[in-house]
Every structure is written in C-alpha cells, then in structure tokens.
Amino acid sequence: MTTPDNVKDTIKTLNNLIETSKDGEAGFKVCAEDVKRPDLKTLFLDRSQRCGQAAAELQRIVLELGGNPEDSTSVGGDLHRRWVDLKSLVTGKDEEAILNECERGEDVAKKHYKEALEETHLSPEIRAVVQRQYDGVLRNHDQIKALRNAERARS
C-alpha cells in the first residue's frame, strides 16, 4: 500500500541516488579531462553520459511521484573531485591514480545503491529501476578496477 510517508521516503531515496549519479557524471568527466590515454578518455566520457542518463531517469520518477528532483551534485562529490584534481596535479595526472579515484567514486555509488535496495518502501517498479542501475554501477566498478589493476601491473 502506498502511503504519503512511503512516497516521501521514496523521493528522498531517489534524490540521494540522483545526487550520487550526478557525482558520477561530474567525476567521470573530470577523469576524462585528466587522463591522457584516448581509450580511457572515451570510457570515462561514456560513463559520465550513462550516469547523467541514470540521474535523468530517476528525476523523471521523482516528478511522477509529485516531488522535486535533485539537480546537483553532493558536497562530498564536489570535495572528492577537488581532491582528484589536487592529486592528479601532484602525481602528474598518472593513469593509475586517476583510476584509483574512479574506483573510489564507484565504491560510494555501490554503497548508496545497495542501501537504497535495502529500503522497504520502494515499489516493485521503482526497485527494478534501482536494481538495473545498481547492476550498471557494479559493472562500472569491476571494469574500472580491472583497468586500474592492469595499469598497476604495467608500472
């Protein structure tokens, strides 16, 4: 049964995931700007775009629920990107360091999506969207980790 509290809680959960997706969109964009390898640049730009699409999908659901969708990144995400910028300056934009930071960002996304899926107030339809996006986060994380490990093996 859908109650006003369930809707309010669902909107809050989705807005947290929107913020997380916006963080990923901005974070991957920064990584694409910082990295030298064309293959990584393409990958990061693709991931940035996919995070933006995930955020837009969640924003539409929040609107359908009658809520005000989040439209910005989190303070934590902003701080993380500044840290990535600082670290990349210090390390000379080393690919391994950039991949490490991408993986850290994906760790945060994994945590937020996992917590959302543990919520009991999500409808089956919304839960399915969150699960599909979470599966994408897991694939991103595993791919970034594999690339980071390969880069580490090279250095």
Other Cβ atoms within 10 Å of 72 Cβ, number = 12
| pLDDT value of residue 72 | 65
Q: Which amino acid is at 54?
A: A
The DSSP annotation for 93-133 comes to S-HHHHHHHHHHHHHHHHHHHHHHHH-S-S-HHHHHHHHHH
- How long a stretch of residues is the chain? 155
Judge whether 51 and 28 are in contact, CB under 8 Å. Answer: yes
Distance CA 14, CA 5 (A): 14
Distance CA 155, CA 69 (A): 43
pLDDT in tens, 116-143: 999 999 999 999 999 999 999 999 999 9
Judge whether 141 and 106 are in contact, CB under 8 Å. Answer: yes
SS3 35: coil
**Domain at 4-154: CATH code:** 1.20.1260.10
CA distances from 120 to 2, 10, 15, 43 (A): 12, 9, 16, 34
Distance CA 120, CA 54 (A): 21
| pLDDT value of residue 97 | 81
| pLDDT value of residue 31 | 85
pLDDT in tens, 98-112: 888 888 888 889 999
| pLDDT value of residue 36 | 85
| pLDDT value of residue 90 | 47
Other Cβ atoms within 10 Å of 3 Cβ, number = 9
Judge whether 116 and 122 are in contact, CB under 8 Å. Answer: yes
Residues of the chain with pLDDT under 70: 1-3, 72-93
